[in-house]
């Protein structure tokens, strides 16, 4: 079969990690007899430099014309990069938010899983992690809430005053809740819905709609949890979570926290989906401009994102399994990038890690 993949390499370490994911995808194509056609699309800082804006209409159209989008990372150093002297709507991150909105990617799936091999990199004490470790998915609403509400900076009574608005309607809440309960049905059948219903109206509506959706899934156990408590529970007892369902900003923050306890943010993939099987796949980490071009980046999060892409958008389950197994095989051979390096292991650069994973792919 032939598939069209839009490739956004992006900024910082983005190009290096995407190249390694493409290496692994090409190996999949060879072993399983597929054809992947890649279409380069510019976004973020690279698009600002080439086109003056972080996302062009042509770039959106090219993504829409593809079966799925694979992305590295975007953005630069916010204190030193000239991109951050531009007005906010012209900065790299604005391109990503616009792309998510234009493609309707409301459901962001961020798995956080502790590999046995990486237990020593986990910053949480052994007695908390126990023998079972943890394996959770954060389902983050991605196109509503505070990141998409009206914002303005004005002068009120002589004081400069900044306002952001947090809005959700019931349909936005319902569709993400359904995705979360659907995913839970394929896992350990538990959902924790995270909000701040003791303060926010949007959270009180969130609770009501989640309760309605939950009623359609009698097999799924579920509960509400306040976001501040959830932040604490993630380090106190991460093993309790299966699917965490939450709104945009809470999901942004909690997913970084969840990724850190896996030992390295360099391991975590993500998928952003719309109502169809179309999706954008990107590592959960940022563009790490400090190590860009040094061959030190960990390409595993992007490679695992490519596996999610095969599974969710292209329906190639066996191929996705093969990539995930290859990553495990490489880790159990003691091969590590610097961010997950530990005693007795062999340290590899970004390219060599991509080579090692590609070499493990077989039918």
User: Which residues does the annotation mark as catalytic?
Assistant: 147, 196, 228, 252, 256
* Among 297, 349, 356, 333, CA closest to 117: 333
Binder to ligand IPM among 96, 205, 210, 271 (CB under 6 A)? Answer: 96
Between residues 105 and 361, which has the closer beta carbon with respect to ligand IPM?
Answer: 105
The answer to whether the beta carbons of residues 266 and 337 sit under 8 Å apart is: yes
**Which residues ranging from 239 to 268 are in contact with Mg ion (CB under 5 A)?**
252
Q: What angle do CA 196, 201, 202 make, to 5 degrees?
A: 75
x/- binding map, residues 146-185, to ligand IPM, per CB under 6 A? ----------------------------------------
x/- binding map, residues 1-40, to ligand IPM, per CB under 6 A? ----------------------------------------
Angle between helical axes of 248-260 and 227-236 (0-180°, round to 10): 10
In whole angstroms, the minimum distance from the beta carbon of 97 to ligand IPM comes to 6
Q: How many residues does the chain have?
A: 363
141 touches ligand IPM (CB under 6 A): no
164-190 core/surface letters (b: 16 or more CB in 10 A; e: else)? eebebeeebbebbbebbbebbeeeeeb
Enter the tokens of residue 276.
């169809």
Count of C-beta atoms within a 10 Å radius of residue 216: 10
324 touches ligand IPM (CB under 6 A): no
Between residues 66 and 255, which has the closer beta carbon with respect to Mg ion?
Answer: 255
Given ligand IPM, Mg ion, none, residue 76, with its beta carbon under 5 to 8 Å by kind, binds none
List of E strands, the chain: 2-10, 35-40, 68-73, 107-113, 135-141, 151-156, 159-164, 190-195, 221-226, 243-246, 271-273, 279-281, 335-336, 346-347
x/- binding map, residues 33-72, to ligand IPM, per CB under 6 A? ----------------------------------------
234 touches ligand IPM (CB under 6 A): no
Distance, CA of 249 to CA of 140 (rounded, Å): 8
Between residues 252 and 319, which has the closer beta carbon with respect to ligand IPM?
Answer: 252
Given ligand IPM, Mg ion, none, residue 93, with its beta carbon under 5 to 8 Å by kind, binds ligand IPM
In whole angstroms, the minimum distance from the beta carbon of 250 to ligand IPM comes to 11
Looking at beta carbons, which residue is closest to ligand IPM?
93
Distance, CA of 15 to CA of 176 (rounded, Å): 31
Given Mg ion, ligand IPM, none, residue 96, with its beta carbon under 5 to 8 Å by kind, binds ligand IPM
Query: CB-side exposure of 101: number of CA atoms within 13 Å?
Result: 15
The answer to whether the beta carbons of residues 69 and 36 sit under 8 Å apart is: no
* Among 336, 309, 337, 333, CA closest to 323: 309
* Among 228, 174, 242, CA closest to 200: 228
Binder to ligand IPM among 46, 195, 252, 360 (CB under 6 A)? Answer: 252
In whole angstroms, the minimum distance from the beta carbon of 175 to Mg ion comes to 21
Q: Which stretch binds ligand IPM (CB under 6 A): 76-84, 91-99, 116-124, 127-135?
A: 91-99
Given ligand IPM, Mg ion, none, residue 360, with its beta carbon under 5 to 8 Å by kind, binds none
Looking at beta carbons, which residue is closest to Mg ion?
252
191 touches ligand IPM (CB under 6 A): no
93 touches ligand IPM (CB under 6 A): yes
Q: How far is CA 158 from CA 152, 155, 161, 164, in A?
A: 16, 6, 9, 19
How many residues bind to ligand IPM according to rule CB under 6 A? 5
Per CB under 6 A, residues contacting ligand IPM are 75, 93, 96-97, 252
Per CB under 5 A, residues contacting Mg ion are 252
């Amino acid at each position: 079969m032939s598939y069209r993949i839009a490739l956004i390499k992006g900024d910082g370490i983005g190009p290096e990690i995407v190249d390694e994911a493409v290496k692994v995808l090409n190996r999949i194509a060879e072993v399983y007899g597929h054809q992947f056609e890649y279409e380069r699309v510019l976004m973020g800082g690279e698009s600002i430099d080439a086109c003056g804006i972080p996302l062009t209409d042509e770039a959106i159209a090219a993504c829409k014309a593809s079966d799925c989008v694979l992305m590295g990372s975007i953005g630069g150093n916010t204190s030193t990069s000239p991109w951050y002297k531009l007005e906010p709507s012209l900065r790299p991150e604005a391109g990503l938010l616009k792309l998510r909105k234009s493609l309707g990617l409301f459901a962001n799936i961020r798995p956080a899983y502790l590999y046995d091999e990486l237990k020593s990199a986990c910053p949480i004490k052994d007695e908390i992690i126990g023998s079972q470790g943890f394996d959770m998915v954060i389902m983050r609403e991605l196109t509503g809430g505070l990141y998409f509400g009206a914002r303005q900076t004005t002068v009120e009574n002589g004081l400069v005053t900044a306002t952001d608005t947090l809005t959700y309607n019931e349909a936005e809440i319902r569709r993400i809740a359904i995705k979360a309960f659907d995913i839970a049905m394929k896992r350990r059948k538990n959902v924790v819905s995270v909000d701040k219903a003791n303060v926010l109206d949007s959270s009180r509506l969130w609770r009501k709609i989640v309760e309605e959706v939950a009623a359609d899934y009698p097999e799924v156990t579920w509960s509400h949890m306040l976001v501040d408590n959830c932040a604490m529970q993630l380090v106190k007892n991460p093993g309790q979570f299966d699917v965490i369902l939450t709104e945009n900003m809470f999901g942004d923050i909690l997913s970084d926290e969840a990724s850190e306890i896996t030992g390295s943010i360099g391991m975590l993939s993500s998928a952003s989906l719309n109502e169809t099987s179309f999706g954008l796949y990107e590592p959960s980490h940022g563009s790490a401009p400090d190590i860009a071009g040094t061959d030190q980046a960990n390409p595993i999060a992007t490679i695992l994102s490519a596996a999610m892409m095969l599974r969710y958008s292209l329906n190639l389950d066996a191929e996705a399994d093969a990539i995930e197994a290859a990553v495990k095989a490489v880790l159990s051979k003691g091969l590590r990038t610097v961010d997950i390096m530990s005693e007795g292991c062999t340290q590899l650069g970004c390219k060599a890690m991509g080579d090692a994973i590609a070499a493990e792919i077989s039918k």
